[in-house]
């Protein structure tokens, strides 16, 4: 059961990779790099971090026990889909981007705190 739990992170990570890389290619073709911090964080939090979360849960299966890791998964996804459009909007001059980026960032670090808890709990013995 825990083995298949990690798969959801891998499935999410590859989708974020495809979207993030497409965004990069779009920036390169359009010669408008204005939203690069959103591209960068979509790939760093969506592709790299989600893949790491999944790999760590696969390496430390005890950390994936219980409901906390499930809450972590959904909080991390919700945080990312709020934060990234927020950063993109903020970098293209839309006032509503800042609050979205702020809420998404705080949710992202909250998700990381949950992850830290699950990893410490699951690797204590």
49 binds ligand HEM per the rule CB under 6 A: yes
Contact between 35 and 88 (Cβ < 8 Å): yes
Burial (CB < 10 A; 0-12, 13-18, 19+), residue 114, is: middle
Query: From the list 7, 32, 33, 74, which residue makes contact with ligand HEM (rule: CB under 6 A)?
Result: 33
Query: From the list 15, 18, 28, 59, which residue makes contact with ligand HEM (rule: CB under 6 A)?
Result: 28
Which residue is at the shortest CB distance from ligand HEM? 24
The C-alpha atoms of residue 20 and residue 39 are separated, in whole angstroms, by: 6
Kindly tell me which of 77 and 105 has the beta carbon lying closer to ligand HEM. Answer: 105
Site of tokens 């497409």: 22
**CB 101, min distance to ligand HEM, A:** 8
Burial (CB < 10 A; 0-12, 13-18, 19+), residue 116, is: exposed
The greatest distance separating any two alpha carbons of the chain, rounded to the nearest whole angstrom, comes to 53
Stretch that binds ligand HEM, among 1-9, 27-35, 58-66, 67-75 (CB under 6 A): 27-35
Query: From the list 46, 108, 119, 122, which residue makes contact with ligand HEM (rule: CB under 6 A)?
Result: 108
18 binds ligand HEM per the rule CB under 6 A: no
């Amino acid at each position: 059961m825990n083995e298949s739990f990690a798969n959801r992170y891998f499935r999410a990570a590859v989708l974020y990779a495809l979207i993030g890389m497409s965004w990069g290619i779009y920036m390169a073709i359009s010669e408008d790099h204005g939203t690069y911090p959103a591209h960068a964080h979509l790939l760093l939090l969506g592709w790299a971090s989600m893949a790491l979360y999944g790999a760590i849960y696969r390496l430390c299966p005890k950390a994936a026990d219980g409901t906390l890791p499930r809450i972590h998964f959904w909080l991390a996804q919700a945080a990312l889909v709020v934060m990234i459009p927020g950063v993109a909007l903020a970098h293209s001059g839309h006032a509503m981007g800042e609050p979205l980026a702020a809420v998404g960032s705080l949710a992202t670090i909250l998700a990381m705190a949950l992850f830290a808890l699950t990893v410490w709990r699951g690797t204590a013995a």
